[in-house]
Structure formats: C-alpha cells, structure tokens
Structure 1
Amino acid sequence: MTSLAPAAPSLGGRVDPDAATALALLNCAVRELCAPEQQVRVAGGHLVARLPRAGVTLRARLRRPPLLSFRLAGPIEELRDRWTVVDWRRITALIAGELELTTGAANPEFAAQVAASRDAMELIGRRRRADDADPFLASERSLVAGHRFHPSPKARQGADWPAYAPELGARFPLRWLAVRADAVAEEGDVSVLDRLGPPVRAGYRVLPAHPWQLDLLRPESDAIVDLGPYGPEAAPTSSVRTVYVPDAFLKFSLDVRITNCVRKNAWYELSGAVALTRALRPVFEELAGDLLAEPGYRTVSVGGTRLREGLGVIVREGVRGLPGTPLLAAAIADPDGDSPAAVSRLLGDDATPERVLAWWDAYAGHVVPPVLHAYLRHGVVLEPHLQNVLIAVDDEGTPVRAVFRDLEGTKLLPGPWTAFLADLPDPVARALTHDPERGWNRVVYCLFVNHLAEVAAAVADRYPLLEPALWRIVRRHVARCAEETPADTDGAARLRALLAGVPLPAKANLRTRWARDPDRQAAYVPVPNPLAEDLA
C-alpha cells in the first residue's frame, strides 16, 4: 500500500487567541449571514464573503482546496481601496453592525463576550502546562480554542474561572456539606456520594459542592453544615461544571455564564435526568452504543429554588469498565490541539489511505447507527455533539465504541412516550420533549454538522484527496439505516430526503448569541449536505 502524505505539518501547538477569535467570527458570519444570502465565492485561494447590509467585503485564505468544507486561515482582510489586514476587534464591530442592520436590534453585550473569550484563550495559552498522563483527561482538557463555529467559544464570567479551568489542568478537592436528613431532596441512586464523602453524625447526609459555586451562593441555613474540603481531587471536564472523580462524574450548578448561559441544574432537570435514565436503559440495550446514565441526584429542600437548584448535583456513571480508551470527540476534531486524541496522533504520520478510510469507517459506524436508530425506532432525540460523545479506541487508535453522555439535551418525542410522560410532573415532562421536526433538526445538526463534519474536516486537513471518500462512507452508513427502516414511515422519508441531499440544519450560534435566546429556541440555517450522491 502507498502512503498518502499529509497535506501539511502537524497543526498542534499554541493557539493564537487573536487569530482563533477572528476566524471563529468569520466562520459564523459566513455560515449564518453570508452563505444563506449567496454572498460567498472562492477566488485565488481565498474565500471572499460580503456583509451585504454593511457593504463590507472580507476574505480569508483557504487552508486547503474547498472540496466539501471550508477551512479558513488568517490573515483576514477587508476590501477598502485595497485588501487590508484587519484584526478581531474590527471583525467584531463589522459583524455586530451587520447583525444590527439584519435584525433591527442591538446587543451591547456582544463585543464584551467576544473579548472575554479572546482573553480567556490568551490566558490559557500563557498558563497551560504539560497535560495529564491520563489520555481521557488529556482529551477533556485540550480544547484551548473551543468550537470554531461559535462567536465566543471561551467566554466565562467572573475572575475566578482559571482556578477551575480544565484547559489549565485544574484539580481541586470538593467542598462537602452535612445536610440534615429532613432538608435533603433526592431521587434515584446516589450511593456514590455517601462512599466519597466524609463521615457525618446520625441524622445528616453528605452533599458535595463545587467550591466556586459554594463561594457564590454562601448558603445560610441551620440545616446545612459546611464540612470543608474532603476526599479525592476532582478534575473538571470540558464543560467546566462537570467534574470527574474516580468512580463517577458529578454535574454541578454554576451561577456563572459559560459560553452561552448560566450553567444551573434547573429543578426539573434534576428529576428529568433520573427519569430519562429509566427510559433510556432498555433503549440502549438495543443500540450499538453505550450510555453514561445519570441514576440520581441530591440537593437541599430548604432555601427555596435558589438553593435547591444551586446546590443540586447530578450523579453520572464513570468511564471505568468501558471498552478501550475513551477520548472526547471534540479533542479528536480539534485541528490545533495538542491532545493525544487528535486525529494526527491517532492515525500517525505514515498512515496509508486504506488505514485512514478503515479508521473513519469504524468511527462513523459506531456513531451514526445508534443516533439514527434512537430517533427512528425509539423516538429518542440524542444530542451527539462533539462534547457529548466519547469515542473508545483500541491500542491502535481505532474506534471500537461510541459512548453518549449528558442527558440535559436528550429529549423524547411525545407520541411514542405518551404513557411514560404522563406519569411525570408537567414541568418535567415538558422539559423532556421535542416535537418531531425540532427533534430531527437537533439530531441532524449535532450528528452531521457539529460532529461528523468537524472530525472529517480534521482528517481532510491531513489527507484532502480522501474527503469525498469520507462522505461516501458516511452515506453508506446512513443508507444502511434507511434499509433497516420500514419504507412507509416518517423516519424513512426523513432519511430519503437526507440521502437526496436536502440542506442540513446548522445551529445559528452567532444569531442565537445576538438575540440572547435560550439554546432550546436556537435558530437554524441551511448548509450544504455532503451526503448527496453526486457529491459523496
């Protein structure tokens, strides 16, 4: 077999915060403002994009030929009397102007959020040290620049965040509370908390707290006793508020804005996680994938909603016992990361075309069928975006299993789950449902646009001639799911449309941030579908 030489040297190394911020903004603008209105063209090795209402034309260099997905590189230039290099501040102002003219509304927070994200990247770059020897934790900590289609991917509120940043290798003991038994609210199995926590006197139960959150809340109640730090150190995962301890993940509330929103466990999400675990266990027994279930939560029943939500902790199963070595999918897709999970590290420098395609076939084969069958057969809307999926790999770096986590975005279709939902409190049931159209958009966006397109792009950065073959493989897996779906069903019609090449829905992160809408109400924009037979 003949080795296919990489298109460029390894892209790992320190991230330039100015360039990363500018490119993320331009990526969003191209996807959400320019391309839908046909204001994009390729010329002379550049992508040229016009902001039509602002009357501004920008361009960026194409890192590689634009076969199916654009991969941009700096510098970014603005057409004045001639092409002039512009920085992230100018791009922020230009895009804000276009958004205000497009929507008729201003957003005085936008520029500050972009700046906060850029400053966080810069700080992370200065303080970042050698990563954890554990490849799983290294993958969780590798996302220095964050999602490349988000205008402020590293925006974090407050001055205390570096002490709890996964990218900086933070580790810290949890703070533990003793809560009087009559002031405890819990559902499901939370026995891991009792094993991890300190001993307490009769009539009290232990409750872990994130030290950052506890400093923000400062709960005052004669039913709560602060026991201080205790136990094994916790390692924050890529979401910041969820931490890994030896036996489990613990998902805390944080009353700070991280990227999009304040990260709190709403009271109905606490109950919803346990309910979804009951619903999904039998579903995943039939799917070719693994679920990190969320079997229980514990919180307090005193202090009103503020403390009930603010001190609520969801217990999630850990990664011990999974096949192979679990790695965060977002780290695999990261073109500029230094994680051992990156595509370049998994495939090595001398991978043949056959090895690359076999690796990708395994990857897609473990991710696509469980997600599509969950929706089509069971009415379950999984949210398989890059930070919600772990890919377990063998000693050769080949994917052997997909592992799905974080039930917050997982929803049920009302029809198939009517009886199950009827037994839940109305607010919990409402929060757990999506209508079929919104649910399908979420599945397709997360699976194909957010996830597979980004990993495929990372592979194509190194092996650009293989990009069409990568999408032929994905098409084959989708087509197999279509063959296994009864032809007269709604699901089969959706898959036929997908294979015919109807545009894919991409979540409009830029527009959503500008409108300050909750994620559940996020808008979508159409993007080209690389599954179409004449493309793939």
Structure 2
Amino acid sequence: MHRPPTPDAEAALADELSAVRPALSAPYAAGLPGARAAVLSRLWRALAYEPMPWIARREPGADGLTLHLTDGRRLHGPRPDPYATTTYVTEVRLDNTVYERPARLMTALGVPHATAFAVELDDSVASLALSRANQPGVDQEPLTSWEWEQRVVDGHPYHPNCRSRPGFSVAEELAYGPEHRPVVELGLVGADDCLVRGEWPKWLRDEGRFLIPVHPWQLAHVLRTAPQETVSAHPLMSLRTLALPDGPHVKTALSARLTSSVRDISVYSIETSATVSAFAEDMAARTDGLLHVTRTLGAVTAHSPDLAAVLRESPDVYAHPGERVLPVAALATTELPRSAAWLADFTRLALTVCLRLLDLGVALEAHGQNLLVVLSATGAPVRLVYRDLADIRVSPARLARHGIPAPALSGRIVTDDVTTLRRKMFGSLIGGTLGATAGSSAVLREALESVVRDLPRTPDLAVLLDEPLPTKALSLMRLSPETPGDIWAQLPNPFATR
C-alpha cells in the first residue's frame, strides 16, 4: 500500500499502521504530541531566523518573540535559541489563535507554497511519531558504526522536515528506515552501457554487464523492474546508503524527496568521484593524522541519476583495536557531550581540522551525517572521518597559495568565492555539527571560548569570532520551489549571545 500525500498524514498513517503493525498503534498515538512539538520547535527556529519575505520585523520581548507579518498579523512564541536541539515550543499564537500542530500553523499563515509545505510538515510529524514508537530499550552499546547510525531516531536536528518521507507507505518506512533497524534487500540490476570510475568489483559483474545495487523503493516506484538477484545490507542515516555484509558502504539512487532533496546520483558526481576521492585522501594526509576520508572504491551509472551507485570504504576501517567510530549525529545518544571537557576536546579537534582544510582550499560539508568521530577506549575524541565527498568545495586559488596542485575538476565543486567556501564549512560545522552536539547557544559558546585562543589566526577564524554565522534557510527553501540552489540565513554568533 502506498500512502499518498494528504492534509492529515497523522490519521492516514494511523489507519495504515493499524493494519500493518497494530502493536505500534498505541505508542504511535501517545507519541504524536511530542512529535508535533519537536517539529514545531524546528519550524519556530526557521521563522525566527530565516529571511522570510512575509515577515516585516521581529520584536523580542520579556515573554518571547513576536513576528510582525507584512499583512498586519502577529505571530508570537517563546524566545528562540538558534542552536537548541531540545523540544521547547509546544504552541505558538497567531493573533488570537493558538496552534500546536505545525501543519495547521503553516496552512493558517497562507503564504506562497504553504499548502505543499504543510503536507510535508504533517508527514514529518507522523513519521517522527512512528520512529519514536518503534524503539526498544537500549541494553548494550553498538559494536559497529552502522549500529550507531540506527540509534539516530529524530533525524535532522534543525529541519522541520526531519522525518518527512512522502511517497513511503508505513510498511516501507518500517522496512527501510534505519531507525527501525531492518535488513534491506538491495536489488542488483544489470546494465550494459555504463560510465564507471574506480574499480567496480567482480562480484558486481555478470559476463561483461555491470550489476548496479538498487534500493528496493527505487525498484518498485521508479525503475519498476525486477532485479537479477539481491544482497542484504543495513541502512544508514541517509536511508539510501547502506552497509554491506563484508564492510563497504553503497550509496544508491533514491528518487524520493527525503527532508529537502531528491536523493538521486548525478552523472557529474560519478564522473568526478575517483578524482575527488584521490584528492581528498591527499588533503586529509596534511592534517597530521587527525582526519581520514572514506575512499571511493568504485562508482557506476547507466547514464541516469535514477540508476547509479557508489561503493566506498566503511568508516570502521579507521578505528584501531579498542576504538569505535560513530557519526557525530549519534553523539546525542551518549553521555559524552554533557561533559564540558569532552565537548571542548571535540570542538578543538573539529575546528582544527576543518579550519586547516579551509585555509588550504577545501571546504567540507561537515554536518553530523558526513562527519564521524573516532573515540578511544576511554571515550576521548582522537580523530575524525569524513565521508560522501560529492558536496565539498575546492578553491584552486587557495590551493595555489600553498603550492598544492589543483585537481583536474570543473563544475559546481570548484569555486574561489570566499562566501561560498565559508558558508559550506561554517554552515555545516557550526550551524550543524557543533551546534547540535552542544545543544544550546550557551553550551556552544562555552565550548568555542575554551578552544579558539589555541587556533591559528586565519581570516576564516576571524569570521567565526566576529560575524553572524551562515546556515541554510531550510524552511524557506521548501517555500521557494521556484528558486534553484541554496538559500542562506544568518544566525547570531554564539560569542554575542550572552
């Protein structure tokens, strides 16, 4: 059964759940208020800080924040914290009406494209409640990085569409969502005329044809074909990337909109994959052993973004005996960030690596999904691992200043624009990784203050110390389908939020 987009996704999911997994119906219903508040908190952050054209001004007050809309209405809610990850908004007031459900608030706002966004918000609430309803008690620590990834239940810490999966039935969410801990059967689809980079393994060839791993959702809804055979794999945080039994990870094309983007694989990213991987490996070697990148082992496309795959190393290969590797997003499931000393050590490590690479000419998109941390046997952060190189940015001019040859690349990955480079790194690292790990402006400021005095004084560091910090305007982007590419907002600098 395929659950279509609906103005009341909560009820639609409940109906389907009663048939597919009735044992989850009660915990799902009980979890809806918390899921609404979690999505509403993310939406309120967006309304408080993103440059919405229909918000005339923002007026802080002793009892919270009032948004004055261009049509004369007023929207009031709690005082926002741009780096908060807790659920702290249970309701907001639009003139004299109180709203607890984010989709109904967006519908009432009635701004351009609000109707479509409201459907996504309702789907996010319903899917988040389902994800939370299907969680067992944690009785032991994960042994592998993919097990850590499956402990991330709530999805993106700041995006209201944190669990939006339009086009997925309840059965498909339970079968493919990493937080539901399934084993997924990837289909192997044969193709003759393919573009290949790197080494495509022998076990994924059949008499000269290339066997491309395909996500079962893609098989059913896009390619509408049967595979030659299947292989079992464990889904990771991005849902379309999975850990194979023998270790490597495979990124599959998934032509569905998850959170914000359709997760296909462009021909461009396949063409550049081997060059980018070799270059990134060389740049990581310049960090004195503090960073590794998961090498791209092979990449293939049947000249279509709907039928392509990338094989890359597992992050676990960079853990020594006694160490463990986990994505930064999973740190919130541990006690580690609650220690000020631990958070300072992690902040120092992340800033040292990312600022060093940015100065050399590489801007990492170091959010909590792409960036992983290697922990010692005692839990100390000792190294970083970075994966998924498709969206880094490379500056030939900065590389040249350091005597580093630029890779043979062209297209979107190459830029010397300083604003673009800093947005890429700071927007993901500060507005994403460090902000979400700290969980509040006050804790983030304390962690930054404890380490910045030890960092090399570069022009990029000056931005961190003195200027508002960039973040993607994720909600405005969903409300602006006619605007291609990223839209940016500015967050208060944590050093100024006292």
The normalised TM-score by structure 2 is 0.81
1:391 maps onto 2:373 in alignment: yes
Q: What's the offset of the Cα at 1:468?
A: 4.6
1:7-406 matches, within 5 Å, as: 16-33=34-51, 39-43=58-62, 46-54=63-71, 55-60=73-78, 73-78=88-93, 80=95, 84=98, 86-94=100-108, 96-97=109-110, 100=111, 105-129=112-136, 133-134=142-143, 136-160=145-169, 161-162=172-173, 163-180=175-192, 183-191=193-201, 194-195=202-203, 197=204, 200=206, 202-218=207-223, 226-230=227-231, 233-245=232-244, 246-287=246-287, 288-300=290-302, 305=303, 308-323=304-319, 324-333=323-332, 339=333, 342=334, 345-346=335-336, 356-377=339-360, 379-406=361-388
User: 1: distance between equivalents of 2:254 and 2:146?
Assistant: 21
Q: What does 1:347-496 align with in structure 2 at a 5 Å threshold? A: 356-377=339-360, 379-416=361-398, 423-424=408-409, 429-434=410-415, 435-457=417-439, 468-477=445-454, 480-482=455-457, 492-496=458-462
RMSD: 3.2
Structure 1 residue 71: Cα displacement: 5.6
Distance 1:228 1:505, change over 3 A: same
State the alpha-carbon separation in 2 of the partners of residues 212 and 30 from structure 1: 36
Q: CA deviation at 1:276?
A: 0.6
Q: Is the 8 A contact 2:37 2:100 kept in 1?
A: no
Aligned partner of residue 91 in structure 2, secondary structure: strand
What SS class does the counterpart of residue 326 from structure 1 fall into? Answer: strand
Q: 1:495 to 1:74 in 2, by over 3 A?
A: closer
Equivalents in 2 of 1:203, 1:138: separation in Å? 35
> What does the per-residue CA deviation read over 1:392-422, in whole Å, with 9 as the maximum and x for residues that have no partner?
2123322121111111211212435699778
Distance verdict in 2 for CA 1:188–1:53, change over 3 Å: same
In 2, the alpha carbon distance for the partners of 1:495 and 1:29 equals: 28
Aligned to 2:469: 504
Of stretches 15-24 and 202-211 in structure 1, the one that deviates more from structure 2 is 202-211
- Residues 25, 91 of structure 1: 8 Å contact kept: no
| Pairwise CA distance, 1:84 | 4.4
AA aligned to 2:179 is E
Structure 1 residues 375 and 77: alpha-carbon distance in aligned structure 2, compared to 1, 3 A threshold:
closer
> Aligned to 1:208, what secondary structure does the other structure show?
strand
Q: State the shift of 1:317 in Å.
A: 0.9
After superposition, the Cα gap between the structure-2 partners of 1:469 and 1:236, relative to the gap in structure 1 and judged at 3 Å, is same
Task: Describe the SS at the equivalent of 1:431.
Answer: coil
Residue identity opposite 1:284 in structure 2: A
How many Å separate the matches in 2 of 1:169 and 1:22?
A: 26
CA distance in structure 2 between the aligned counterparts of 1:273 and 1:517, rounded to whole angstroms: 29
Provide the rounded CA distance (Å) in 2 between the counterparts of 1:372 and 1:178: 43
| TM-fit CA distance, 1:147 | 2.4
The 1:408/1:174 distance shift into structure 2, 3 A limit, reads same
Supply the distance in 2 between the matched residues of 1:250 and 1:60 (Cα, whole angstroms). Answer: 42
Flag the 1:509–1:226 CA change in 2: closer, same or farther, 3 A.
Answer: closer
- For 2:234 and 2:461, locate their aligned partners in 1 and report how far apart those are by CA, in whole Å: 40
Distance 1:456 1:278 in 2: 33
Q: Kindly indicate whether the alpha-carbon contact (under 8 Å) linking 1:17 and 1:121 is maintained by their aligned counterparts in 2.
A: yes
Asked if the contact 2:281/2:292 (under 8 Å) is kept, the reply is no
Distance verdict in 2 for CA 1:471–1:139, change over 3 Å: same
State the 1:146 CA deviation.
Answer: 2.3
SS at structure 1 position matched to 2:427: helix
Cα distance in 2 for residues equivalent to 1:393 and 1:471: 20
Which runs of no fewer than 5 residues in structure 2 stay unpaired?
1-29
Structure-2 separation of matches of 1:456 and 1:363 = 10
Q: 1:112 to 1:85 in 2, by over 3 A?
A: closer
CA separation in 2, counterparts of 1:517 and 1:382? 27
Tell me if the contact between 1:250 and 1:313 (Cα under 8 Å) persists in the aligned partners: yes
Q: Give the distance between the partners of 1:416 and 1:165, measured in 2 at CA.
A: 40
Distance 1:412 1:472 in 2: 29
Tell me, in whole angstroms, the C-alpha distance in 2 between the residues paired with 1:120 and 1:457: 23
Provide Cα deviations, 1:43-82, integer angstroms capped at 9, x if missing partner.
Answer: 2xx53232432522322378xxx7986966143241656x
Secondary structure in structure 2 of the residue aligned to 1:402: strand
| 1:273–1:295 contact (8 Å) kept in structure 2 | no
* 1:528–1:19 CA distance, 2 compared to 1 (3 A): same
Q: Check the 8 A contact 1:58/1:77 in 2, yes or no.
A: yes
Aligned amino acid, residue 66 of structure 2: A
Asked if the contact 1:327–1:391 (Cα under 8 Å) also holds between the matched residues in 2, the reply is yes
Indicate the SS of the match to 1:290.
strand
What SS is found at the alignment partner of 2:383?
Answer: strand
Aligned residue pair count? 451
- Kindly indicate whether the alpha-carbon contact (under 8 Å) linking 1:272 and 1:432 is maintained by their aligned counterparts in 2: no
Local SS of the residue matching 1:360: helix
Structure 2: which amino acid aligns with 1:216?
H
- For 2:38 and 2:83, locate their aligned partners in 1 and report how far apart those are by CA, in whole Å: 22
Q: Give how far 1:168 is off.
A: 0.8
CA contact (8 A) 1:34 1:40 kept: no
Matched letter for residue 207 of structure 1: I
Q: Percent identity?
A: 21
